[in-house]
Amino acid sequence: MYEQELGFNNRAVVGGLEVFTSRVEPGVAWADEVRRILSGYAGRDVRARQVMIERALAVVARVSIGNPPAREPARPRPTAPLASVGSNGRGQAAPVPARSPAVSGSRNRPVVTEGSEATTPLSPHSPVSALPGVGAKTVEGFSRLGINSVLDLLYHLPRRHLDRRSLTPLANLQPGQVATVMVTVVSVNVKSPARRGLTITEAQVRDESGYAQAVWFNQQYMLRRLGNSGQVLLSGRVEQQAGGAMQFTSPELETDLEDSLHAGRLVPFYAKTEGITDKQLRTVIRRALDLTGPALRDALPVEVRAQENLLPFVTALESAHFPDTWERHAEAVRRLAFDEFLIIQLGVLRRRHEWQTSNPGLAFVIPEATIGEFASRLPYTLTGAQSRVTAEIYGDLVRPVAMSRLLQGEVGSGKTAVAAAACLAAVRAGYQVAFMAPTDILAQQHERSVSATLGPLGVRVARMTGSQKRKEKREIWSACAAGEIDVMVGTHALLDEDEGFHRLGLAIVDEQHRFGVRQRSALLAKGANPHLLVMTATPIPRTLALSVYGDLDLSIINELPPGRLPIKTAMIPPEKRMEAYGFLRRQVRLGRQGFIIFPLVEESERIEARAATAEHERLQRQFPDLRLALVHGRLSPREKDEVMSRFRDGHADVLVATAVVEVGIDVPNASTILIEGADRFGLAQLHQFRGRVGRGPHASYCLLLTETDAEPTLARLRALERTSDGFVLAEEDLRMRGPGEFFGTRQSGVPDLKVARLSDVHVLEAARRQAELILGRDQTLSLPDHARLRSQVEAYWNRSVAAG
């Protein structure tokens, strides 16, 4: 065999032997057995590879002369007890490797001793009840874990692995150590102390090097398990008792040492629920892998696996649960993470292509004088970043392909000015603009800003929100349909199915993360393939941007206008709360205004109005000399507008607000924001709150009142003290809190990742690169090698759209 001639270097075929065998159809008589034998081949040394090749060739030889492949007999277990361990030269017994339990094929396929009878291959889409040994109670327990199909079960990956490959002699145990020992049970008894309802099962155990004890509380069944055992495996934390004896408290116990699922390997431990045990999960998952293996097809083309050095899918899935080594486990997780990222990237890139090619784009003819005309109306000069981003947008607008661009910029970086420049380009080219914001107050703010800038240039701006009266809305829509309105600024009210535009050419969506896919699509449907510009003031890490907004081109305003004073940020411990209140009062006496943000515990959100009112009353007692306004999520849009407008116009000194309300109103006179319970918020959200001040000529301050002395939390808040760079904070927040809560509430469109983490930048970028290459060759994924990818992408996208 050529692999033998090459010295077992795994280069006999492109991609290695595991890739080669994964492509052999299951109908080939020797395929499954050889695939099992060669599982993990790439990670073995030359001697181990030689043995694996010899075994694989023997299977092929048997089949070729008409003999069915036989299961490899279990290797005999050594009969010598652990007592035969040698000395390490220091008077202590030396650690020894765990003895290998019986195995079949690769170590990656431990024997399932319970009900391991051969059965026909099982579809991974079968219900878990189709697995042997899974009854109604188990199905109910799996359902609580979100496991309904066999594939759900296979993707219920371990939370951790415990290394049971090496055993520690009892004489070597140290207090506080987490150890695995193989011992002989000397005696077992159950004690019932005076305290009612408490029983203690106590076992005395020994090996050649010494003695120890193990105790379990309220687990009387341990008496039966231990009484029927000779040698057992204990895993857990060791503590030293008053008399010097070492004791395991509630350790993991394994009595079936012939079953390599639970001993002598990296043993998986899972998220569980009542009635479901780790041992049960290991057994059922092993059985599921065995039964579905022939039906699990690798969706990745062979060349992609070779280029990215990825494990075959079945090997990765097995190694994620039952790895031979830590390195193999990392390789398995990398492969499965790559799969998740690739499906997302194929989806977003296909959506982008479909968006751009489904209908001819509107190539704007923009008069050359437009940008100069716009700049002349501004009371300031555009920053370099604003000018660069405006040029990028204008470059998109003149192409016959619909623009699809995300504009990121810090609070106060001048995104609205750039959006106004885009509006003017559309109007001068003869088109209308829809400018959608998530709240009435933001829509009002955008309308005022755009009107102030473009109104003198003859641009007609109107506002459409849900709080307006029906007659007023009808009149505005009628004017819009007649082409008498150039820029329509509004909220979700712009999505009214019964109303439309005369000639919509540009759609702008502010705070994109507040809207779902369907809402964005509904707005675009108001025109004939209009250009799309979405904006966010939340700095988004690259990995999250590629996942959530991967179908959009990216523009970043990474420069603030000159003259803006830095905001001074400080953590305030609970004992200095009154000093913080005093500082806020002094700022108000100087003629400034301020914000107080306070969190609501999750269970209180149902009664937010009452909780917010109680907090407002407490603060009013604290500041009887100040005018406090209150805004919270249970107010109607009209009520919110009224309160925030009064504050903006100087009729209140301090705005008290909950975190669930948009407080992005522009108040240049506000100089101080005091955030109660700052430790309950993420960094990205705190940075957004901080951006409510520092918009005027006055020195501004952000005071973070903490309610904890937990070092991880304080370290997170210190990052806010150190830097005002939103992108640095965003990366840190994503790492700490994860993508689901990055924007402060559950994000519409954030992928539900089972394996991958959005901190896996290199894996995501590799998946993006391969997605671009695949679609460059086969945009519709219609080639046979891409059929499984196409079905997975479509299934993922259907779930995403359904989720909104």
Q: How does pLDDT run across 792-801, given as a tens digit for each residue? A: 998 877 776 5
Instruction: Please report the pLDDT score of residue 386 as a whole number.
Output: 93
Under a CB-based contact definition with an 8 Å cutoff, are residues 234 and 168 in contact? Answer: no
Task: Tell me the backbone φ, ψ of residue 59, rounded to 5 degrees.
Answer: -65, -45
Question: 86 in helix, strand or coil?
Answer: coil
What is the reported pLDDT for 55?
75
Candidate from 129-138, 213-222, 658-667 with smallest mean pLDDT: 658-667
> What's the pLDDT at 191?
85
For residues 395-399, average pLDDT: 94
What is the average per-residue pLDDT within 362-391? 91
Bridge partners of 139, per DSSP, are none
473 pLDDT tier (thresholds 50, 70, 90): very high
Mean pLDDT of 255-263: 74
pLDDT at 651: 95
Q: What percent of the chain has pLDDT over 90?
A: 40
Lowest mean pLDDT among 109-118, 156-165, 448-457: 109-118
The predicted model gives 157-180 an average pLDDT of 89
* Rg (alpha carbons) of the chain, rounded to whole number: 33
Q: What is the band of 274 on the pLDDT scale with cuts at 50, 70, 90?
A: confident
Q: How would DSSP label each residue in 218-257?
A: S-THHHHHHHT-SEEEEEEEEEE-TTS-EEEES-EEE--T
pLDDT at 195 over 80: no
Residue 214: pLDDT over 50: yes
- The candidate with the shortest Cα–Cα distance to 214, out of 205, 223, 225, 227, is 205
Q: Is the pLDDT of residue 625 over 90?
A: yes
| Domains with residue ranges and CATH for the chain | 1-70 (no CATH), 166-263 (2.40.50.140), 384-557 (3.40.50.300), 567-723 (3.40.50.300)
> Do 612 and 630 touch, CB atoms closer than 8 A?
yes
Query: How many Å from the N-terminal Cα to the C-terminal Cα in the chain?
Result: 55
Cα 148 to Cα 59, 128, 151, 156, 489, distances in angstroms: 36, 6, 8, 11, 46
**pLDDT band, residue 746 (cuts 50/70/90):** very low
Comparing 10-19, 223-232, 477-486, 757-766, which segment has the lowest mean pLDDT? 10-19
Which pLDDT value is given to residue 385? 92
Q: What is the mean pLDDT of the chain?
A: 82
Judge whether residue 687 has pLDDT over 80.
yes
The dihedral formed by the CA atoms of 32, 33, 34 and 36, expressed in degrees to the nearest 10: 80
Residue 285's pLDDT is: 94
CA 408 to the chain's CA centroid: 21
Higher model confidence: residue 255 or residue 513? 255
Please state whether 430 falls in left (phi above 0), alpha (psi between -120 and 50) or beta: left
**3-state class (DSSP) for residue 677:** coil
What is the pLDDT, as a whole number, of residue 82? 29
Predicted confidence (pLDDT) per residue in 1-37, tens digit: 567 666 677 767 666 787 777 767 666 667 777 887 8
Rounded CA gap, 285 and 294, in Å?
15
Decide if 212 contacts 205 (C-beta within 8 A).
yes
Six token digits for residue 591: 């003629």
CA distance 584 to 164: 59
Q: Which of 91-105, 462-476, 753-767 has the lowest mean pLDDT?
A: 91-105
Least reliable range by pLDDT among 184-193, 509-518, 586-595: 509-518
Residues 414 and 390: their CA atoms lie apart, in Å, by 11
The listed range with the strongest mean pLDDT (14-28, 154-168, 403-417, 472-486) is 472-486
Segment 691-706 shows an average pLDDT of 90
E-strand ranges in 380-446 read: 404-409, 432-436
> Is 252 a residue whose pLDDT tops 60?
yes
Specify the pLDDT at position 76: 35
Provide the β-strand partners of residue 630.
656
pLDDT digits (tens, 9 = 90+) for 289-308: 989 888 888 999 999 999 99
Share of the chain above pLDDT 70, in %: 83
Nearest Cα residue to 49 out of 14, 13, 8: 8
Distance separating alpha carbons of residues 416 and 445, to the nearest angstrom = 10
Name the residue with higher pLDDT: 756 or 739.
756
The mean pLDDT value for 602-615 works out to: 64
Amino acid at 708: T
The DSSP symbol for 406 reads E
The pLDDT-based confidence of 115 (bands split at 50, 70, 90) is very low
Lookup: tokens for 196: 């009612």
Evaluate if pTM is beyond 0.85.
Answer: no
Q: Which of 259-263, 511-515, 741-745 has the lowest mean pLDDT?
A: 741-745
- Which of 255, 248, 239 minimizes the C-alpha distance to 216? 248
Q: Residue 96's pLDDT band (boundaries 50, 70, 90)?
A: very low
Model confidence at 607, in pLDDT bands (50, 70, 90)? low
Exposure letters 499-519 (e unless 16+ CB within 10 A, then b): bebeebbbbbbbbbbbbbbeb
> According to the model, what pLDDT value does residue 14 have?
61
d(CA 316, CA 284): 18
> Which DSSP symbol is given to 340?
H
Higher pLDDT, 227 or 482: 482
Least confident interval from 170-174, 252-256, 576-580, 737-741 = 737-741
> Residue 608: its pLDDT value, please?
63
Asked if pLDDT for residue 342 goes beyond 60, the answer is yes
Q: What is the pLDDT, as a whole number, of residue 303?
A: 92
Average pLDDT (761-785) is: 92
Band the pLDDT of 533: cuts 50, 70, 90.
very high
Does 471 score more than 50 pLDDT? yes
Model confidence band, residue 114 (pLDDT cutoffs 50, 70, 90): very low
Instruction: Measure the CA angle with vertex 568, ends 562 and 572; round to 5°.
Output: 165
Q: How high is the pLDDT of residue 645?
A: 83
pLDDT tens for each residue of 44-89: 766 667 767 877 877 776 665 444 444 443 333 333 332 323 334 3
pLDDT for 749-763, tens place per residue? Answer: 556 678 888 778 889
* Residue 312's pLDDT band (cuts 50, 70, 90): very high
Pairing mode, strands 200-207 and 178-191: antiparallel
Q: State yes or no: pLDDT of 93 exceeds 60.
A: no
How far is it, in rounded angstroms, from Cα 400 to Cα 224? 78
Q: 84 Cβ partners below 8 Å, 6+ apart?
A: 208
CA distance 794 to 410: 35
**With 60 as the cut, is the pLDDT of residue 549 above it?**
yes
- Give pLDDT, residue 716: 82
Strand segments (E) across 20-158: 96-97
pLDDT at 737: 61
Q: How far apart are CA 32 and CA 69, in angstroms?
A: 10
